[in-house]
């Protein structure tokens, strides 16, 4: 299929004019999307309690008394039984499978919060429904986001011979970095309990002393002016019944920074920030500045649950803390393109925001198609394969939710299996899934290919079932160009591109065979397949050189 004149309007998109505003201007002849070191990583996201139970001795199966916390099944949702209790996943289960994660092609693990959560199931809130978000009655803190002591580990996670420092050290030995999930917006559910429960709505310090207590009171009844234990909290409601931190209280900032510096010092490489849009930009600016004063250059990305780019981009700007974000606009597009809707690749072009977009740098965004807070993507096996071929070749830092390598619980909401227990048996059987090997192939290629990690993306064709683009990396004497060709159709396709062609000798990135490109690109791509060609030399095609110069000039703001 030839590139049509209408598609020329989509040709080479690149860096936002405001990208890398806090970094040195690129030198002449350089081309790259980002110099962020963490852009080289790819992330496997585990909800730790639901991954693998490596140590039954820390299950605490008798915890909670009349409000037990272990194995709390729900009524089935469309025949699938969810569970809101702890199910045993722990540090040992994660570390035992570090080789599995690394072998899939990943280089970093994002695990859910590790801090102490309440020891009972919550009795307040609304009754859990199959589709209701934030319906928490009967739920436990298995997910980690209901912190009561931010300085203490959740007792379900460590083993006698494996603490958090041991986990991060072991992961690093296995070739994996650690991403800590941090919460700066709230603690545990704090009100609507029929009878007040211990720990809920309370915050304890490193010594175990009580520093904040919601008292089972609705926010509007709190009296921070006269009750010191109310000072941590806002007096207006935000997310369901969660105890909402007061961003204007410096004690809150001191507490959170102190706690997270404590954990970062045990081997954390990056931070994922929960519910970032529920605190003001100034809060995150202060938080990031104080963390980076101790750990310069630490990569952070936040969850701003909004698929409108201009709404989430402000967090990425240096004046607001320079915190990247999960790419919700791209997530929405990927679901439409690779899920049951099967929209064309042009829909993804709308979500890239490569040139003159609102982000500080779109190449630093964390890209994904689902996670624990939304339905898993409802895709066929081929849809997963196509999604991964895009996720690991297009701009951004790819994030994959545990189990997606087998299509685990596809299409399921939170209470219908989205967070179901994966387990060692499923991990051992995972290579049998038709999704597994193609994911491993493309993820490993990205891991070993600088152009796919940090290269400038120059789109050649995004239409229907086919896509073609370059990723070009020329910096500090290193030069590599990747030509990516994607086909999500059910039959092989011959992809033809006539513009911005780089002639010469290329090599197939997968089998190393030589490929000659002349005045046009004309390459067959198999059904639901990907071809990646590599050229380890600087671009010398005049038309493409001129385009790169224009794009990088825009990055310099000239």
CA distance 408 to 123: 30
* CATH code of 458's domain: 2.60.40.1180
Are residues 289 and 361 located together in one domain of the fold? Answer: yes
The mean per-residue pLDDT over the stretch 132-160 comes to 96
Residues 52, 101 within the same domain: yes
Q: Name the percent of the chain in helix, strand, coil, to the closest 5.
A: 30, 20, 50
Confidence class of residue 551 from pLDDT cuts 50, 70 and 90?
confident
CA proximity to 188, closest of 266, 284, 123, 259: 123
159 and 111 within one domain: yes
474 plus 421 within the same structural domain:
no
What is the rounded average pLDDT for all residues in the chain?
94
Q: Which of 430, 448, 466 is the last residue of a domain?
A: 448
Does residue 9 carry a pLDDT above 70? no
CATH of the domain at 168: 3.20.20.80
Picking from 448, 481, 498, the residue at the C-terminal end of a domain is 448
Q: Across the beta sheet with 177-183, what order do the strands follow?
A: 324-325, 299-302, 270-274, 177-183, 108-111, 43-46, 397-401, 366-367
**Cα(552)–Cα(71) distance, integer angstroms:** 55
Residue 202 pLDDT greater than 60, yes or no: yes
In this structure, is residue 194 part of a structural domain?
A: no
Please tell me the predicted confidence (pLDDT) of residue 24. 59
Q: Is the per-residue pLDDT at 11 higher than 60? A: no
In a domain, 227, yes or no: no
Average pLDDT over residues 30-53: 98
Measured between alpha carbons, how far is residue 66 from residues 18, 52, 87, 198, 201 in Å?
A: 56, 27, 18, 13, 19
For residue 129, the model assigns a pLDDT of 92
489: in domain: yes
Please check whether residues 277 and 381 belong to one and the same domain.
yes
- How many CA atoms, within 13 angstroms, populate the side-chain half-sphere of residue 356? 3
Is the pLDDT at 392 greater than 90, yes or no? yes
pLDDT digits (tens, 9 = 90+) for 68-117: 999 999 999 989 999 999 999 999 999 999 999 999 999 999 999 999 99
Half-sphere exposure of 53 (CA within 13 A, CB side): 15
Q: Is residue 2 predicted with pLDDT exceeding 60?
A: no
**Do 462 and 386 share a structural domain?**
no
- Tell me: do 271 and 402 sit in the same domain: yes
Residue 496 lies in a domain: yes
What tokens appear for 470 in the block? 């370059």
Query: How many angstroms separate the CA atoms of 126 and 122, rounded?
Result: 10
In a domain? residue 27: no
Query: Among candidates 220, 224, 225, which has minimal Cα distance to 237?
Result: 220
Shared domain for 487 and 405, answered yes or no, is no
Assess whether 510 and 541 both reside in one domain: yes
| Domain span at 525 | 454-555
The residue from 400, 418, 448 where one domain ends is 448
Residues 421 and 305 in one domain: yes
pLDDT digits (tens, 9 = 90+) for 154-179: 999 999 999 999 999 999 999 999 99
* Whether residue 463 is found in the same domain as residue 387: no
Is the Cα torsion angle 198, 202, 207, 211 positive or negative in sign?
negative
Answer yes or no: do 300 and 374 share one domain: yes
User: How many domains, in total, are found in the chain?
Assistant: 2
User: What value does the mean pLDDT take over residues 393-411?
Assistant: 98
Predicted local distance difference test score (pLDDT) of residue 3: 28
Q: Please indicate, yes or no, if residue 61 is contained in any of the structural domains.
A: yes
Q: Please, how many CA atoms are within 13 Å of residue 337, restricted to the half-sphere of its CB?
A: 33
Handedness of CA 247, 253, 256, 261 (dihedral sign): positive
Q: What is the mean pLDDT of residues 299-326?
A: 97
- The answer to whether the CB of 14 falls within 8 A of the CB of 51 is no
The SS3 call for residue 309 is helix
Asked if residue 69 is part of any domain, the answer here is: yes
Q: Is residue 38 part of a domain?
A: no
Above 90 in pLDDT, residue 325? yes
Residue 288 pLDDT > 90: yes
């Amino acid at each position: 299929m030839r590139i049509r004149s209408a598609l020329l309007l989509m040709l080479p998109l690149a860096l936002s004019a405001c990208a890398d505003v806090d970094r040195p201007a690129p030198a002449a002849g350089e081309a790259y999307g980002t110099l962020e070191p963490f852009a080289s990583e790819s992330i496997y996201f585990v909800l730790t309690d639901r991954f693998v139970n490596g140590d039954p001795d820390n299950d605490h199966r008798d915890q909670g008394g009349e409000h037990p916390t272990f194995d709390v099944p729900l009524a089935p949702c469309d025949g699938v039984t969810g569970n809101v209790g702890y199910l045993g996943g722990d540090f040992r289960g994660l570390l035992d499978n570090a080789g599995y994660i690394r072998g899939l092609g990943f280089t970093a693990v994002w695990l859910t919060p590790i801090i102490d959560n309440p020891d009972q199931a919550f009795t307040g809130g609304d009754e859990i429904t199959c589709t209701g978000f934030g319906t928490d009655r009967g739920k436990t803190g298995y997910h980690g986001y209901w912190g009561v002591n931010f300085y203490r580990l959740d007792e379900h996670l460590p083993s006698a011979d494996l603490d958090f420092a041991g986990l991060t050290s072991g992961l690093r030995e296995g070739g994996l970095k650690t991403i800590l999930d941090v919460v700066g917006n709230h603690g545990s559910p704090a009100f609507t309990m029929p009878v007040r429960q211990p720990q809920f709505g309370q915050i304890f310090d490193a010594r175990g002393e009580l520093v904040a207590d919601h008292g089972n009171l609705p926010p509007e009844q709190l009296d921070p002016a006269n009750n010191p234990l109310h000072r941590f909290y806002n007096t207006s409601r935000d997310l369901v019944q969660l105890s909402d931190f007061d961003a204007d209280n410096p004690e809150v900032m001191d507490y959170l920074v102190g706690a997270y510096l404590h954990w970062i010092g045990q081997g954390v490489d990056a931070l994922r920030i929960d519910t970032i849009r529920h605190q003001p930009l100034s809060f995150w600016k202060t938080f990031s500045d104080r963390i980076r004063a101790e750990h310069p250059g630490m990569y952070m990305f936040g969850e701003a649950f909004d698929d409108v780019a201009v709404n989430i981009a402000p967090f990425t700007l240096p004046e607001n803390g320079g915190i990247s974000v999960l790419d919700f606009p791209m997530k929405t597009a990927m679901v439409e393109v690779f899920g049951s809707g099967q929209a064309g690749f042009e829909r993804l072009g709308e979500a890239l925001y490569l040139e003159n977009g609102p982000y500080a740098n779109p190449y630093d965004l964390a890209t994904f198609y689902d996670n624990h807070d939304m339905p898993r993507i409802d895709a066929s096996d081929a849809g997963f394969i196509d999604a991964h071929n895009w996720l690991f070749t297009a701009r951004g830092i790819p994030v994959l939710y545990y189990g997606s390598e087998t299509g685990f619980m596809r299409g399921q909401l939170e209470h219908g299996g989205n967070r179901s227990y994966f387990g060692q048996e499923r991990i051992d059987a995972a290579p049998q899934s038709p999704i597994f090997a193609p994911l491993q192939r493309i993820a490993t290629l990205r891991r070993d290919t600088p152009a796919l990690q940090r290269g400038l993306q120059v789109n050649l064709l995004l239409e229907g079932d086919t896509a073609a683009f370059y990723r070009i990396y020329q910096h500090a004497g290193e030069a590599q160009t990747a030509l990516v060709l994607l086909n999500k159709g059910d039959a092989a396709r011959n992809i033809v591109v006539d513009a911005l062609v780089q002639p010469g000798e290329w090599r197939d990135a997968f089998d190393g065979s030589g490929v000659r490109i002349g005045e046009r690109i004309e390459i067959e791509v198999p059904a639901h397949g990907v071809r990646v060609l590599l050229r380890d030399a600087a671009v010398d095609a005049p038309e493409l050189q001129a385009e790169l110069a224009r794009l990088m000039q825009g990055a310099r703001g000239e």
